[in-house]
């Protein structure tokens, strides 16, 4: 065949149209940002199959519809003061929030671990620590949007109905602080469960059971201690459920209204509740990061 015997080249390089990547080369920070945005959208099923959108979108609608109805009732009947209570709205719709958190945390934390795609992510410049924190941030913001949106609907509805601006704004901001704290606690706990139990069904079950059973136990024991007049015991018990924990911070420090039988009435217990919730977040994140570091080492 083509023997380069007389010094002429024997082969030809054809240009068959391969193009080099000529776009901007982004750094680690941008990889993290894009992971965050993808995770946030995936939590609502955007960018996934149509069936994956069904549950989160239905639950979001379930969250917003009662708020819209409340606004409609308020506008029709002209009830502008004392009708809306922003802080207790999340506790009223606790079941919907718990189902959302439990169903969507495995989307962000279980799938990569189960399919083994985690080793591909961790082979890139993004470190295991950053990966875990970015995933947590996606879940946190997704839950934050989920809980805050109906409360914003309530607030905007109240303002358009010309309710008292300063009073409503103060209540709204206090409730928002509570919602941010609640989202962070829920994201931490559900992320921990989802990353440790890789099978989706089990992760969902354990998260729902843990959140609902703990809140049920807290309400039951508080009802008993309330009858017995043992208030300290009731306050201690309140530390053991995310919902009563954040409720306590709202009531004790931000002058909100409580949805639980026993709640701190002074700043002292409010501070203890706040410290406990911050400790849960910090400790949970530490465990999460440690777990992903271990995954990277394998």
Nearer to another protein, 36 or 240 (CB): 240
Binding part of the chain for another protein, among 26-34, 66-74, 163-171, 195-203 by CB under 8 A, reads 195-203
Nearer to another protein, 87 or 106 (CB): 106
Q: Give the pair of three-digit tokens for residue 203.
A: 């992760």
Of 212, 271, 267, 202, the C-alpha closest to 240 is: 212
As measured in angstroms, the least distance from the Cβ of 51 to another protein is: 8
Write each residue from 266 to 285 as x if it is in contact with another protein (CB under 8 A), else as -, in one continuous string: --------------------
Going 56 to 59 to 61 to 63, the CA torsion angle's sign is negative
Backbone angles phi, psi at 10, to 5 degrees: -90, -15
Binding segment (CB under 8 A) for another protein, from list 70-78, 226-234, 250-258, 263-271: 226-234
Dist CA 268 CA 258 (whole Å): 16
Q: Are 242 and 182 in contact (CB under 8 A)?
A: yes
Residues for the chain: how many in total?
Answer: 298
Q: How far is the CB of 48 from another protein (least distance, A)?
A: 11
∠ at Cα 272 (269, 277), nearest 5°? 130
Give the per-residue contact string, 203-222, with another protein (x = CB under 8 A; - = no): -xxx-xx--xx--xx--xx-
Q: How far is the CB of 225 from another protein (least distance, A)?
A: 6
Burial level of 115, CB count in 10 A (0-12/13-18/19+)?
Answer: exposed
User: What DSSP state is assigned to residue 238?
Assistant: G
Number of chain residues interacting with another protein (CB under 8 A): 26
Site for another protein in 88-107 (CB under 8 A): 95, 99, 103
CB of residue 117 vs another protein: minimum separation in angstroms? 14
Tokens linked to 258: 């409580």
Q: Which of residues 44-63 bind another protein (CB under 8 A)?
A: 49
Nearer residue to another protein within complex by CB, 106 or 256: 106
Chain centre to alpha carbon of residue 122: 23
Select 241 or 250, whichever has its Cβ closest to another protein. 241
For tokens 């994201």, what's the residue? 187
56 vs 157, beta carbon nearer another protein: 56
* Termini Cα distance of the chain: 50
Minimum separation from the CB atom of position 180 to another protein (A): 26
**Alpha-carbon span 56 to 101, nearest angstrom:** 9
3-class DSSP string for 46-61: CCCCHHHHHHHHHHHH
Is 201 a binding residue for another protein by CB under 8 A? The answer is: yes
Q: Which residues bind another protein (CB under 8 A)?
A: 49, 95, 99, 103, 197, 199, 201-202, 204-206, 208-209, 212-213, 216-217, 220-221, 223-225, 227-228, 230, 233
């Amino acid at each position: 065949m083509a023997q380069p015997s007389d010094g002429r080249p024997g082969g030809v390089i054809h240009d068959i149209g391969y193009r080099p990547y000529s776009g901007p080369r982004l750094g680690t920070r941008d990889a993290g940002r894009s992971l965050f945005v993808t995770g946030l959208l995936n939590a609502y099923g955007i960018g996934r199959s149509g069936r994956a959108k069904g549950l989160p979108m239905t639950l979001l609608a379930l969250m917003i519809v009662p708020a819209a109805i409340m606004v409609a009732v308020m506008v029709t009947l002209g009830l502008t003061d004392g009708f809306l209570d922003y802080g207790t709205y999340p506790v009223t719709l606790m079941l919907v929030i718990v189902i959302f958190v439990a169903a969507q945390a495995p989307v962000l934390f279980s799938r990569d671990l189960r399919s083994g795609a985690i080793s591909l992510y961790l082979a890139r410049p993004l470190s295991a620590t950053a990966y875990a924190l970015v995933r947590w941030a996606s879940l946190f913001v997704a839950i934050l949007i989920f809980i805050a949106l109906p409360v914003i609907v309530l607030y905007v509805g109240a303002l358009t109905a010309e309710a008292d601006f300063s009073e409503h704004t103060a209540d709204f901001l206090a409730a928002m602080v509570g919602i941010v704290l609640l989202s962070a606690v829920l994201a931490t706990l559900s992320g921990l469960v989802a990353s440790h139990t890789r099978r989706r069904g089990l992760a969902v079950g354990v998260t729902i059971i843990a959140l609902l059973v703990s809140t049920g136990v807290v309400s039951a024991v508080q009802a008993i201690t309330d009858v017995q007049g043992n208030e300290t015991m009731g306050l201690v018990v309140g530390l053991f459920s995310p919902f009563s924990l954040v409720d306590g911070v709202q009531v004790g420090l931000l002058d909100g209204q409580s949805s639980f039988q026993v709640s701190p009435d002074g700043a002292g217990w409010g501070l203890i509740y706040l410290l406990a919730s911050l400790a849960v977040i910090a400790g949970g994140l530490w465990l999460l990061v440690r777990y992903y570091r271990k995954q990277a080492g394998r």
